[in-house]
Every structure is written in structure tokens, then in C-alpha cells.
Amino acid sequence: MARNEEKSQLMLNKWVTMKKEFTGGRVAERRPYSAADCTSLGEAEKWRLDIVRTISRKVSQIQNAGLGEHKIRDLNDQINKLLRERTQWQARIRQLGGPDYNAMERAPEGEAAPGGGGYRYFGAARNLPGVKELFETAPAAKRRRTRAEMYKRITPDYYGFRDVEFHPELAELERNEERERRAKLAAEALEVSKRRRDKENERRRAQGEPPLEGPDSDDDPDEHAAMLAHVDRLTESTRLAFQGQHAVTKQAASEASARLLTSRKRDLLAFLDDSARDDDQHNNLEEQREQQQEDQRQEEGPAKEQQQRQGGDGVSGPAPREEEEQQQQQQQHQEEQRQEEPTRETEEQQRQGDDDVSGPAPGGPS
């Protein structure tokens, strides 16, 4: 016998329910296709609540894994579509002055597949073929240790640097073993040298040459130790020479740096002195010009009064403004000549000094 939920989904039952609504005097309302068509905040809140109820009902339905693959996929698609519509209605409510539901939402429902563009899977849809593999994470590959990480774990004990402190008996055994091996190697070296000398003497006798007299240089057991001591002395002398050379180079570099710093300080001081001297000369010239203008105004005062009296008496004369301009030009010309005279004398002295330093020109008269 069919369940009540399945009965309600039949087309005949839907038609009967719609007919009852019409005959009862009320018409079933349908949600607007676009949230932008709604202009009332209350209506927008109502349709958002309707979508939330529908999403809750379908999420509870999709938890049943016995619905079948096709039914589960359809429910999952419908839920994702309703989620998008809910987001649009919430944005519209925000535009109409209502609360911001998008900001108040907690963690989103469902589980988004990587690279799915926001598409989410709910309930039994996560275990569908082809979907389950999307959420499986591959086991992390074992990372190989780097050489630096391995060196961090190495202690002085690895190289045996502290064997003398913690294992004195081991150090004694090593010294005894080293002494025995040195003696064995020295004996083998003497044997090889002896055979080589005997072979050389046989060759000499066959060719009629006198045999070798005295032990071969390789037979001297102390020669190896003497050679090592000589190498140690050379190494020590080289080290000392390098240290001395490094000290000399460092001292020379320090002296060169000090000389460079001193020369730069001297150049900077000279530049500052020249700048101060130029400023003083400029200030002096300004003061002289102002003094000359003041003197000129004092001298022109009586002349102006006399010209005014002459003008009142009807006597014509040169215009006062033209006389002032002529006097100013004459004074400026005299001032420029006085300033140029020290400069010419300095240039002549420098030219004479350069001629004395450079000497006679090559190819000129001796």
C-alpha cells in the first residue's frame, strides 16, 4: 500500500487539491520567478521562509539511500537550485532594507566537491558512484629527508669525538690496534723494498754492472716519519705566512679607507667654504647696492625740490625721471667695473702660475 507522501505526489491528488482551493474561494499563490519582481519586504520574507522549508524537507528526504541513484541525483539538483534562489531572495531582502541573512548564515550545508564551482552534495548523494571518489584524499607520500635534516641529527658521538671521555678503554684499544697496524705496514714496506733491491741487483749482475751497496732509501723506517714531520712544518709555515699576508692586506685596506674618507672630508669642507664665501660676497654686494640706492635717494632729494621750484617758476629743464635713470645706469656700470677688476687680476695670476708650472712648451725655444 502506498505511503501518504507518495499519494500526495500523484497528479490526480494534485488536481483534486487545486480544485478544492478554487472552490473554497482562494487561489494558490506562486512564488515570483525572479526576486527582483518583489517590491514588498514582507512578501520577500515569506518566500524566503518557503524556500527554507522546502530545502529542509528535501534534505531530510535525500538522507534515504534506498531512493535510487536517479531520485537522489534529482533531489540533490533541486536542493542546489533552491540554495541559489534562497541567496537571491536574501540579497533582495537586504536591498529592501531587511536583515542581511547572507552575512548571518553559519557554515554552508552539504559538502562541496573540489573544482565543482560551488555545487554541493547532500546525504546519500555523497556516496554515489563517481562522487565518492571526489572526496577521497590520496594518502600523503612519504617525504624523504633532506641532507640538511639528516645533518641536524648528527652529534659529535657519531664521529667518535667523545669516545675518550665516555669510553677510555675503547680509545686505548684503538691506539694498540693502530700501533700494530703501523708495525705491520712498516714490515711489509721493508719486505717490498728488499725484493725490489734484490731484483735490481740481479739485473745489474746480468749486465755486468756493480750491485747496489748499502740499504735502499726505502729501507729507512724513519724516513716516513721524517717526511710527515717535514710536511707538518711546511703546512705550519704556509699557515703563518697566510695569516701575516691577510693581516697586511687588512691593514692596507684600512689605511686606504681612512685616506679616502679624509679626502672626501677635505673636499666637503672646501665646498662648504666656497659656498659660504659666495654667500658672503652676495650679501656684501646686496648691502652695497642698498647703500648706493639710499645715498642716491638722499642726493636726489634737494635736486627734486629745486626742479619743482623751477617748474613752478616756468623754467623748463630735463625730466626728473630721465635724470634718475641715467644716474642709476652710470652707478651700475661703475660697480660692475669695480667687481671685474679683482677677477681679472686673479685670472692673470692663475695664468702666470700655470705657465710657471708647465714650463716652456715642447719644441719651443730653449
Q: Is the per-residue pLDDT at 102 higher than 50?
A: yes
Q: Quote the pLDDT of residue 280.
A: 76
User: For the whole model, what pTM was predicted?
Assistant: 0.34
CA distances from 290 to 98, 232, 252, 293, 330 (A): 78, 87, 57, 5, 16
Are the C-beta atoms of residues 55 and 123 closer than 8 Å to each other?
no
Pairwise CA distance, residues 48 & 38, whole Å: 12
Q: Name the pLDDT band for 317 (thresholds 50, 70, 90).
A: very low
Please provide the DSSP assignment of 244-304 as one string: HHHHHHHHHHHHHHHHHHHHHHHHHHHHHHHHHHHHHHHHHHHHHHHHHHHHHHHHHHHHH
User: In terms of C-beta distances under 8 Å and separation of at least 24 residues, what long-range contacts does 314-318 make, across chains too?
Assistant: none
The average pLDDT across 312-333 equals 65
Q: What is the H or E stretch that residue 121 is in?
A: strand 120-121
User: Could you tell me the pLDDT band of residue 134, with boundaries at 50, 70 and 90?
Assistant: confident
User: Among 27-36, 178-187, 201-210, 314-323, which is the least confidently predicted range?
Assistant: 314-323
| pLDDT per residue as tens digits for the range 28-47 | 578 888 888 888 888 889 88
Which residues, at least 6 apart from 131, have a Cβ–Cβ distance to it below 8 Å? 113, 121, 125
Residue where the block lists cell 665516555: 166
User: For residue 57, which of 106, 128, 8 has the smallest C-alpha distance?
Assistant: 8
Cell numbers at 44, concatenated: 520577500
Backbone angles phi, psi at 144, to 5 degrees: -80, 140
pLDDT reading at 78 higher than 70: yes
Q: From CA 185, how far away is CA 192, in angstroms rounded? A: 11
- Confidence class of residue 305 from pLDDT cuts 50, 70 and 90? low
Tell me, what's the pLDDT at 362? 44
User: Per mean pLDDT, which range of 150-159, 190-199, 315-324, 342-351 is the poorest?
Assistant: 315-324
DSSP-derived 3-state class of residue 111:
strand
User: Hey, which residues does 111 pair with through a beta bridge?
Assistant: 121
Residue 3 pLDDT? 64
Reading the block at residue 222, the C-alpha cell is 724513519
pLDDT score for 121 = 87
* Gyration radius of the chain over CA positions: 56
State yes or no: pLDDT of 50 exceeds 50: yes
pLDDT of residue 156: 80
Query: What's the pLDDT score for residue 348?
Result: 67
The per-residue pLDDT for range 205-263, each reduced to its tens digit, is: 888 888 776 555 444 555 656 666 766 777 777 767 766 665 667 677 778 888 888 88
